[in-house]
Amino acid sequence: MKKILLAALLGSVLPVASHAQSSVTLYGAIGGGVRWANGLKGGSTVGFNNNVIAVNAFGITGKEDLGGGVQAIFKLENAFNSGTGALKKDGAVFSQAAFVGLTGRFGRLTFGRQLNASENFSILVDPNLGRGQTLAIEPGVVWAANYFTLDSRFNNTIKYLVQAGGFRFGASYSPGGVAGENRAGTNFSGAAMYQWGVAFGGLSYQKTWNATGTQWAQTFGSGGSLQAGPVRLYLSYSDLEVSAANAAAPNRRDHIPGGGIVWTPTASAFQLTAAVYQDIASHLHNAQSASGHKFTTYAIAEYFLSKSTEVYAEADYNGLSGAYRFDPTNLAAMGLASGTRSTTGVSLGLMTRF
């Protein structure tokens, strides 16, 4: 009789204990407002602001305790246009993240669609943490993400992250999966970082091959940040090189210094973020005598009505010179007319998180 009662008691307790060791969280953010911009095809325009300072998204993240300090983890995150409800990326329900993995004292190992190791570092030295949703305030998507697709996430990615004291290391590999062509569509990257009190710094590298394995793009990145009272200062430098499709053409080269500031006054609901980047490019599109500069700067003022909701104002300026005035990638991404020398944008919006 005692054994029967004990079995019944354990049977009622164990499911509860198992449930307590697992968790699933639904989260997200949505924003919108109005945006004015000039220098576009046809002139200036006033349109809907699809939350240019951060992605509209909802996601599910979860973990399960497997014992011995090891947890199984997963993340699914969708991005969408708040003005129309359409997916941010056609055909990708979970464009921002779709991965599963393990985490523990050994580090963190994940498999699926996600940021690569180099991008993880790039975000940490970006004053806006890589949240910008337009090339007007997030020029780094050209050199920090997939150069050939401008996709900020990499498919079929295996990533490992580990921390030892103040050091953090990361490495990732995205196989292309093309039979007979081991380079096509692949990416590999690595990053090393160190946090020392209020200071942070690191280095990164990545190399991506195009869909046919005939061209590659590689980026060396470096940078850091420093907290000084209510102000955090950022400095970064990136070097992009893109190989030519044929031996007669030169490699593209970009040197991109950048800097920024985040000011959060003590006991205040206000935050100001500002940044500047200078892309000094030569042989754009691997063409001889195709050099140019792209100067990007922006400022974002945020006022938090609560822990979850804010109103914001944003202003950005992009100046183009030389061959950059005719660069099809930037013209298409920002809706500019060929030969445009500059474009200015101003956005007002409301955003809430859950």
Residue 238 has pLDDT above 70, yes or no: yes
pLDDT, position 29: 98
Query: Is residue 298 included in any domain, yes or no?
Result: yes
Q: What confidence tier does 12 reach under pLDDT thresholds 50, 70, 90?
A: very low
Tens-digit pLDDT profile for residues 72-131:
999 999 999 999 999 999 889 999 999 999 999 999 999 999 999 999 999 999 999 999
Residue 14 has pLDDT above 90, yes or no: no
- 211 — phi, psi (to 5°)? -65, -20
List own/partner pairs for 321-327 with CB under 8 A and 24 or more apart.
Answer: 321/292, 321/293, 321/294, 322/290, 322/291, 322/292, 322/293, 323/281, 323/284, 323/287, 323/290, 323/291, 323/292, 324/279, 324/281, 324/284, 324/292, 324/293, 324/294, 325/292, 327/284, 327/285, 327/292, 327/294
CA–CA separation, 291 vs 301, rounded Å?
34
> Mean pLDDT throughout 227-256?
96
20 CB contacts (<8 Å, ≥6 apart)? none
pLDDT, position 90: 87
State the total domains in the chain: 1
**Domain range spanning residue 290?**
25-353
Residue 50 has pLDDT above 50, yes or no: yes
Q: Which amino acid is at 178?
A: V
Query: Is residue 18 included in any domain, yes or no?
Result: no
Tens-digit pLDDT profile for residues 142-171:
999 999 999 999 999 999 999 999 999 999
Query: Is residue 3 included in any domain, yes or no?
Result: no
Percent of the chain with pLDDT over 90: 87
- What CATH number corresponds to the domain at position 303? 2.40.160.10
Query: Is residue 246 included in any domain, yes or no?
Result: yes
Q: pTM for the whole thing?
A: 0.90
Tens-digit pLDDT profile for residues 292-323:
999 999 999 999 999 999 999 999 999 999 99
Query: Is residue 132 included in any domain, yes or no?
Result: yes
Q: Which among 56, 59, 71, 69 is positioned nearest to 25, based on CA atoms? A: 59
